[in-house]
Amino acid sequence: MQTATYPASSGDQATKVDGYMDRQPEDKSNSPAQNQRGNDSQQEDQNSMEKNSSNSVWTSGIPAALEEATMSQPAPSTSEGPQVETMQSMQQNEGARPGQQQPSNIADKSAPSSSEAASRSTENNQYKNAGKNTDNLRDRQMRKSRLSQLLDLQRKRIRPADHSTKGRYGIQDFDFLQTLGTGSFGRVHLVQSKHNRLFYAIKVLEKRRVVDMKQVEHTCDERHILSRVQHPFITILWGTFQDAKNLFMVMDFAEGGELFSLLRKCHRFPEKVAKFYAAEVILALDYLHHNQIVYRDLKPENLLLDRFGHLKIVDFGFAKRVSTNNCFTLCGTPDYLAPEIISLKPYNKAADWWSLGIFIFEMLAGYPPFYSENPMKLYENILEGSISYPQYFSHASIDLMDHLLQRDITSRYGNLKDGSMDIIMHPWFRDISWDKILTRKVEVPYVPPIRAGMGDSSQFESYATGPTNYGNNENPEFSDIFQDF
Ligand SMILES: Nc1ncnc2c1ncn2[C@@H]1O[C@H](COP(=O)(O)OP(=O)(O)OP(=O)(O)O)[C@@H](O)[C@H]1O
């Protein structure tokens, strides 16, 4: 779990929902309620930006679009200066990866341009006229049916129910290296296979903590669901095993770190970038929902980047197999909770589409729409549902978020007769090639600056080495409860 370095203020200590820790935006300097950070923390941020900027690499193809999108967003006035500068300084300081073109002259392009406002207004006008001029109904129908066929193929890729990951590996198969992240029940380690020398991530869960926090069912669901799903944007579970005290889940190592960290470094993403990450998430949610799985914990902390810059959803600790409206558990991350969950009403996959709306907002604004340091106020804000969109959001993005952030689930996009198609076909995604997104043929906005395949954990926070006295098989605990592992 990413620990926020945002200064804690009174009353904002971790809130637990169903055993999970709350998050605090590290920086919501451009939020309606501006933060009051001291010089020290600003200096710290500056230092960390400089450190990070020299590492960051933006791929060659996207930057022009990325810059345009970034620069066409008037920056809100904040004590820390505009986000635009932040993004630009990241770009200016980047080093070129071997074989990659240095992004074209960013400094020149950063000069204020009178065409920016014009281009935004053209974009908005295009959106307003979209129904009249482009997208005639027949084209739309054809696109929709082509897309449905494509998605159907992916949706059917599910491993058989009797596919077992149990006992496929043991502690003796891996060298345990540093900690990549910590969670409520243990930690995730970088490991190296003693056989093929490849690097993996192993999530270790302490059985006693899982039992004490009444998370047995969630943990078993996580293992079961992850062992069956097969999707380009979902982490692969290679195997599970246990020792006397711990459960182990062997996953592929997502080397690029958390999207959360990238977002906090950039403060907010240009629309093109947000659209790209949203598109990958949508395809993963579409896949899960068609396989009767609701994810229930969408947030930037659970979205990791692989070495190429594509997303991998991790942490299926709240994922659940569902039929219709049959979830009641209060779980998820407060900022991302759908109103029906807070009201303790039965809820379904529509809750994930609500979270998608929050996710898109947070990527574009740098803070979630209902943010409050006071958890009760946060819940009130969510239930009340009034959203103040920053003026630099495009009409199309606002329209999509309005349709996702519908308190009434019978009006929420994703939950209507056409399901996810309403989202996929929304004008905000007009320039997205869904088939290319699915086949990962789209140029990514950001390639993590790592030495791929070398066990490079530079994109993760450093942790003091934790307990790694794993592998003790004496006096096994709870083996009846965790017999599936
Ligand atoms: N496959 C992976 N590759 C690289 N890092 C990973 C991987 N899976 C998890 N991590 C890191 O470990 C952190 C904790 O993982 P995860 O969220 O799955 O644990 P958790 O115990 O369920 O945490 P939480 O209590 O926050 O739900 C992640 O935020 C991420 O930084």
- Tell me if residue 130 falls in helix, strand or coil: helix
- CA dist 292 and 286 (Å) reads 10
Residue 291's pLDDT is 93
Structure tokens at 293: 């799985």
8 A C-beta contact, residue 6 and residue 26? yes
For residue 222, report the distance from its CA to the centre of ligand 1, in Å: 13
- CA dist 189 and 180 (Å) reads 5
For 81, residues 6+ apart whose C-beta sits below 8 A from its C-beta are: 75
Binding site membership: which residues?
Answer: 203
Binding site membership for ATP: which residues?
Answer: 203
Q: Look at ligand 1, atom 17, and give the residue with the nearest C-alpha.
A: 315
- Tell me if residue 250 falls in helix, strand or coil: strand
355: number of Cβ within 10 Å: 26
Residue 210's pLDDT is 94
Identify residue 101 by its one-letter amino acid code: Q
Which residues make beta-bridge pairs with 186? 205
Residue 10's pLDDT is 30
Which residues make beta-bridge pairs with 447? 57
Point out the least confidently predicted range of 76-80, 199-203, 315-319, 339-343. 76-80
Spell out a b/e string for 365-395, using b for 16 or more CB atoms within 10 Å of the CB, else e.
Answer: bbbbbbbbbebeebbebbeeeeeebbebbbb
Phi and psi (nearest 5°) for 162?
A: -90, 5
Point out the least confidently predicted range of 86-90, 106-110, 255-259, 459-463. 106-110
Give the catalytic positions in this structure: 297
Structure tokens at 181: 């992240």
State yes or no: pLDDT of 427 exceeds 80: yes
Residue 339's pLDDT is 87
3-state percent breakdown (helix, strand, coil) of the chain, nearest 5: 40, 15, 50
Mutation pick for ligand 1 pocket among 188, 307, 460 (CB with most ligand atoms within 8 Å): 188
Point out the least confidently predicted range of 112-121, 131-140, 281-290, 448-457. 112-121
8 A C-beta contact, residue 409 and residue 266? no
State yes or no: pLDDT of 256 exceeds 50: yes
Structure tokens at 425: 């076909």
Point out the least confidently predicted range of 247-256, 285-294, 331-340, 375-384. 331-340
* pLDDT bucket at 125, cuts 50 / 70 / 90: low
* pLDDT bucket at 472, cuts 50 / 70 / 90: confident
For residue 316, report the distance from its CA to the centre of ligand 1, in Å: 10
> Ligand 1: which atom is nearest the Cα of residue 461?
31
Cα–Cα–Cα angle for 362, 367, 369, rounded to 5 degrees = 75
- CA dist 482 and 417 (Å) reads 39
Q: Look at ligand 1, atom 13, and give the residue with the nearest C-alpha.
A: 181
pLDDT tens digits, 25-54: 443 333 333 333 233 333 333 333 333 333
8 A C-beta contact, residue 52 and residue 94? no
Helix (H) or strand (E) holding 449: none
- CA dist 69 and 66 (Å) reads 5
Q: Look at ligand 1, atom 20, and give the residue with the nearest C-alpha.
A: 183
State yes or no: pLDDT of 411 exceeds 90: yes
Residue 362: burial class (beta carbons within 10 Å; 0-12, 13-18, 19+): buried
* pLDDT bucket at 127, cuts 50 / 70 / 90: low
For residue 378, report the distance from its CA to the centre of ligand 1, in Å: 25
Structure tokens at 49: 């930006």
Q: Look at ligand 1, atom 8, and give the residue with the nearest C-alpha.
A: 314
Mutation pick for ligand 1 pocket among 16, 263, 301, 314 (CB with most ligand atoms within 8 Å): 314
**What residues are in contact with ligand 1 under a 6 Å CB criterion?**
1-2, 20, 180-181, 183-185, 188, 201, 203, 235, 251-254, 258, 301-302, 304, 314-315, 317, 460
> Terminus-to-terminus CA distance in the chain, angstroms?
23
> Ligand 1: which atom is nearest the Cα of residue 188?
12
For residue 183, report the distance from its CA to the centre of ligand 1, in Å: 6
DSSP state of 127: H
For residue 201, report the distance from its CA to the centre of ligand 1, in Å: 9
Residue 328: burial class (beta carbons within 10 Å; 0-12, 13-18, 19+): exposed
- Tell me if residue 394 falls in helix, strand or coil: coil
For residue 188, report the distance from its CA to the centre of ligand 1, in Å: 6
- CA dist 469 and 463 (Å) reads 17
8 A C-beta contact, residue 378 and residue 333? no
Phi and psi (nearest 5°) for 193?
A: -70, 135
> Ligand 1: which atom is nearest the Cα of residue 315?
18
Q: Look at ligand 1, atom 11, and give the residue with the nearest C-alpha.
A: 181
For 428, residues 6+ apart whose C-beta sits below 8 A from its C-beta are: 275, 394, 396, 397, 399, 400
For a pLDDT cut of 70, what percent of the chain falls above it? 68
Mutation pick for ligand 1 pocket among 180, 253, 316 (CB with most ligand atoms within 8 Å): 180
For residue 65, report the distance from its CA to the centre of ligand 1, in Å: 32
With tokens 């409520």, the residue in question is: 184
Phi and psi (nearest 5°) for 182?
A: -120, 150
ipTM above 0.95, yes or no: yes
Across the range 209-237, mean pLDDT stands at 92
* pLDDT bucket at 55, cuts 50 / 70 / 90: very low
Structure tokens at 169: 């590996």
> Ligand 1: which atom is nearest the Cα of residue 235?
1
Mutation pick for ligand 1 pocket among 23, 177, 198, 203 (CB with most ligand atoms within 8 Å): 203
Residue 364's pLDDT is 98
For residue 302, report the distance from its CA to the centre of ligand 1, in Å: 7
- CA dist 286 and 327 (Å) reads 18
State yes or no: pLDDT of 451 exceeds 80: yes
> Ligand 1: which atom is nearest the Cα of residue 19?
25
Q: Look at ligand 1, atom 27, and give the residue with the nearest C-alpha.
A: 183
- CA dist 379 and 390 (Å) reads 21
Q: Does the pTM of the predicted model rise above 0.90?
A: no
Q: Look at ligand 1, atom 19, and give the residue with the nearest C-alpha.
A: 183
Helix (H) or strand (E) holding 472: none
Cα–Cα–Cα angle for 410, 415, 416, rounded to 5 degrees = 75
**How much is the CA Rg of the chain, to the nearest whole Å?**
22
